[in-house]
Structure 1
Amino acid sequence: MPAVVVRRGPVPEYGSVRRVLDGDTYEVLLPAGLVRLRLLRVDAPELSQPYGKQAAALVAGLLRGRLLEVSRTGGSTYGRVLAGLRVAVPTSGGTRHWLRVDSMLVAQGWAWAYEPGQATPDLAGLQRLAQHYRRGLWQCGTATAVRPGIWRAYNKQEKARAWVGCSGWPRE
């Protein structure tokens, strides 16, 4: 009888960020080489849309120079590997605390909770709190935030109109 191997989830790999492309896409150096990752469970603003550069800068500041734990799902979109990502944050006691990057982005208001076809109650709760406290992209209210998929479909005039009406948006 052949042996059966049961996997309980992706085997984590460890590496470091080389480049942050936007709030949810990064180039990470792993033992096997450089990999372009798309963070699971969130959708961050595009660089060209309101708060996109701020989301990317927040992630870059959090990830640079720190150990990353990458859990690949095996899926791929647009040449990117879909993965969960945790970052090692040192504590005062000399140990490390592992922080989920998806949770941090949503809690700070720099990404939408997003998982097609699945519920994400933990992230949805964090998103509601970020909206309530008007953090990040929610600082002008929920009606003004435009999901990245909708933003990409907008023409130039629609994008220009989307920038109007909120003094909190940084104009680049």
Structure 2
Amino acid sequence: MTSALSALAGNPLAIAVPALAVLALLVIFAKTIGLPWVGTVSHFADGDSVETKAWFHSYRVRIRGIDAPEYTQEHGKEARSTLVAMLEGRKALFIPFGADRYGRWLCWVITLRGPVSWRMVLAGAAWPASPMTWALHVPTRLLGRGLWKRGASRPIHPDVWRRHGMSQRMSVPPTHKKSTKRYKIKPRASTFAPRGTRQLHDFL
């Protein structure tokens, strides 16, 4: 045992090479799956999307376990203000679980006062999106907090709101200006085009 330790002490590369290999694996693991980090929030997009700074890098984060109203949606500004009050100027632990389709880290965000997703649901500022937050939102809804305030308009889930907004934009007919120019009707280049080609031409 002593001879082995003395051999390692006499050969620094025997320690440096494995250490560098382990460090490289940790970096690859952090970039693909993600390692937990502690950081502060530098930007609040809405009630469930933030940007954090840690390790001299910025990370876009989507808080896991909730679905808050979009910022331009009704109750969206209130949800963002609630999240700002919870995270602004405070250190938080971010535990990533992969990334979403927009390239944001899906993270559990935890402060000294508890998981942010739980607190957002208890404040009535977001819809639940996990079994735990579903259980927590029941008393919040019964007490009429935030989104579920009695006498207020019925809240619209962000997914429904996004689909409705998209369908509204798609349903608006295009406006065409009347032209005073006269155009000559040109015959088709070929009347013997394949059937599929003619159908595509008529469709376009």
**Alpha-carbon spacing, 1:141–1:71, altered in 2? closer, same or farther (3 Å):** farther
Aligned to 1:48: 72
Cα RMSD over matched residues?
Answer: 2.4
Aligned to 2:142: 132
**Structure 1, unaligned runs of 5 or more:** 1-8, 89-97, 159-172
Aligned to 1:101: 116
Aligned to 2:181: none
Give the CA deviation at 1:144.
1.2
Which structure's residues are more often strand, by fraction? 1
**Alpha-carbon spacing, 1:142–1:129, altered in 2? closer, same or farther (3 Å):** farther
Q: How does 1:16-165 map to 2 (within 5 A)?
A: 16-88=40-112, 98-115=113-130, 120=131, 122-140=132-150, 144-155=154-165
Q: What is the rounded CA distance, in whole Å, between the counterparts of 1:141 and 1:82 in structure 2?
A: 34
Which AA in structure 1 matches 2:90? Answer: R
Give the CA deviation at 1:42.
0.6
**Alpha-carbon spacing, 1:13–1:156, altered in 2? closer, same or farther (3 Å):** closer
Bigger relative CO (Cα 8 Å, ≥ 6 apart) = 1
Give the CA deviation at 1:77.
2.8
Where 2:45 maps in the other structure, the secondary structure is strand
Q: TM-score, normalised by structure 2?
A: 0.61
Q: What is the rounded CA distance, in whole Å, between the counterparts of 2:74 and 2:64 in structure 1?
A: 21
Which AA in structure 2 matches 1:110? Answer: A
Q: What is the rounded CA distance, in whole Å, between the counterparts of 1:141 and 1:29 in structure 2?
A: 40
**Structure 2, unaligned runs of 5 or more:** 1-32, 169-204
Q: What is the rounded CA distance, in whole Å, between the counterparts of 1:144 and 1:69 in structure 2?
A: 34
Give the CA deviation at 1:125.
2.0
Aligned to 1:14: 38
Q: What is the rounded CA distance, in whole Å, between the counterparts of 1:68 and 1:156 in structure 2?
A: 35
Where 1:86 maps in the other structure, the secondary structure is strand
The count of aligned residue pairs is: 136
Which structure's residues are more often helix, by fraction? 2
The structure number with the bigger radius of gyration is 2
**Alpha-carbon spacing, 1:155–1:72, altered in 2? closer, same or farther (3 Å):** closer
Q: What is the rounded CA distance, in whole Å, between the counterparts of 2:142 and 2:152 in structure 1?
A: 9
Q: What is the rounded CA distance, in whole Å, between the counterparts of 1:152 and 1:25 in structure 2?
A: 16
Q: Which runs of 4+ in 1 moved over 3 A?
A: 140-143, 155-158
Which AA in structure 2 matches 1:124? Answer: W
Q: What is the rounded CA distance, in whole Å, between the counterparts of 2:111 and 2:77 in structure 1?
A: 20
